């Protein structure tokens, strides 16, 4: 069991995560999942036109290219308020 009151860092990360999720949802972005890796929140989202805007303005980039059972894909990322936000796209 996780005790949140004993770890201010984790509590802070959860508050930041909530704020980022609310901000993304206000833009119409679908949040697919949230995990914490090495103390950093990682928010997985559905690709959205907001991602394209961030790519064009240099605030997001593609970090991974690969292939799985569904075909070729690429993964994009940006950081918002200390949270890593990632999405995957199919490449045809």
Q: Confidence band (pLDDT; 50, 70, 90) for 7?
A: low
In a domain, 1, yes or no: no
Q: Is the pLDDT of residue 3 over 80?
A: no
Q: Tokens 């303005």 appear where? A: 57
Q: What mean pLDDT value characterizes the chain?
A: 89
Cα–Cα dist 21/5, whole Å: 22
In a domain, 27, yes or no: yes
Q: Is the pLDDT of residue 5 over 70?
A: no
pLDDT, tens digit, 9 for 90 and up, residues 32-56: 999 988 878 999 999 999 999 999 9
Q: Which domain holds residue 65?
A: 8-90
Look up the pTM and report it. 0.85
In a domain, 29, yes or no: yes
- Report the candidate in 2, 1, 82 with the shortest Cα–Cα distance to residue 42: 82
């Amino acid at each position: 069991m996780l005790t949140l009151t004993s770890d201010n860092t984790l509590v802070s990360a959860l508050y930041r995560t909530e704020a980022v999720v609310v901000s993304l949802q206000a833009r119409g972005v679908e949040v697919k999942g949230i995990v914490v890796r090495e103390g950093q929140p990682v928010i997985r989202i559905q690709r959205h036109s907001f991602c394209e805007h961030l790519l064009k303005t240099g605030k997001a980039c593609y970090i991974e290219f690969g292939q799985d059972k569904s075909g070729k894909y690429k993964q994009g990322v940006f950081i918002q308020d200390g949270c890593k936000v990632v999405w995957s796209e199919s490449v045809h």
